Structure 1
Amino acid sequence: MASMVTLEIVTPDRKVLSEDVEYVGAPGALGEFGILPNHVPFLSALGIGNLHYKLGGKTYYVFVAGGFAEVSHNKCTVLAEVAEMAHEIDVDRAQKAQQRAEQRAQQAKEKLEHARHQAALKRSVARISCNRAGKDAGTC
């Protein structure tokens, strides 16, 4: 019986992570899901938020936005549109993006434009949250 899950996080630009871990928690499109060793195979769309994994008693955080997660044979493969390790996040840039998105969302008159700005706001808030969670856990 396996006691670890191989976690691979890949974006169109790079391999973000490849690590054997004890647990993976990820923001699915319909809510957060968790992966332990010997999990049943499944496929899920990803939402915007913080993926976290446990290794050696510590919790590590990765911001993800969009994409898919596949679980099969003690391997969790995350194909994300965007993924950043918590320590890689530029908090000043994310806070400025949050301010711009909030201003634009208030000014948006068209529904599509408003939805676009709301998505930008959600991404920037999740990045800041991921970075803070990583610092609080001592993993940045």
Structure 2
Amino acid sequence: MADTMQFDLVSPERKLLSAQATEVQIPGTDGELTVGPGHAAVITTLRPGVLKVTSNGQVTEFAVTGGFAEISPEGVSVLAERSLPKGEVTQSVIDDWVAEAHKAHKEAHHTVVDDAAKLLSDMVAMGTHIGLDPNVPNF
């Protein structure tokens, strides 16, 4: 089995990373998922969170707001709804993303309120994990 796998992360705006990786940690909708070379084929949806890629002994982190990950024994391809390198996520960015999640939560119909509440919770948790204050009042 190979020691590395191909990893690609793209968002609608740009390709964020294409590299040989030894490990990828994915914030999946159903929970965190760690992928290594030779992993079984899986497609999963992403929740807002921090995606971590280990390549050449270095860990690179990206904030993602959602999307999909296609995992195969040869590698991982992530199509993110939105993504930025952790270092580019400023307080202003988190404020905007949380405001959008608040708006979605407020405008949600009764049948999708739980999904919008989870989106909001995940956005706040991602900001906190990155070390930023999402300025969210208690519900």
TM-score grouping bracket, smaller chain normalisation? 0.7 to 0.9
* Cα gap change, 1:17 to 1:127, in 2 (>3 Å): farther
Tell whether 2:74 aligns with 1:80. Answer: no
Q: Deviations over 1:9-45 (max 9, x none)?
A: 1112211111111100101110011111111111111
The answer (yes or no) to whether the contact 2:102–2:120 under 8 Å persists in 1 is no
Match of 1:29 in 2: 29
- d(CA) in 1 for partners of 2:117 and 2:32? 23
- d(CA) in 1 for partners of 2:58 and 2:71? 22
Q: Secondary structure at the match of 1:6?
A: strand
- d(CA) in 2 for partners of 1:56 and 1:6? 13
- d(CA) in 2 for partners of 1:124 and 1:5? 31
The answer (yes or no) to whether the contact 1:27–1:51 under 8 Å persists in 2 is yes
Match of 1:138 in 2: none
| Structure 2 unpaired stretches of 5+ | 132-139
Match of 1:47 in 2: 47
- d(CA) in 2 for partners of 1:44 and 1:114? 20
Q: Which amino acid is the alignment partner of residue 66 of structure 2?
A: G
Mapping 1:36-115, distance limit 5 Å: 36-95=36-95, 98=98
What's the TM-score, normalizing by structure 1? 0.73
Q: Secondary structure at the match of 1:3?
A: coil
The answer (yes or no) to whether the contact 1:95–1:124 under 8 Å persists in 2 is no
What's the TM-score, normalizing by structure 2? 0.73
Question: Equivalent pairs: percent with the same residue?
Answer: 24
| Structure 1 unpaired stretches of 5+ | 133-140
- d(CA) in 2 for partners of 1:30 and 1:67? 13
Q: Secondary structure at the match of 2:126?
A: helix
Q: Deviations over 1:60-88 (max 9, x none)?
A: 21111211101124210001111111011
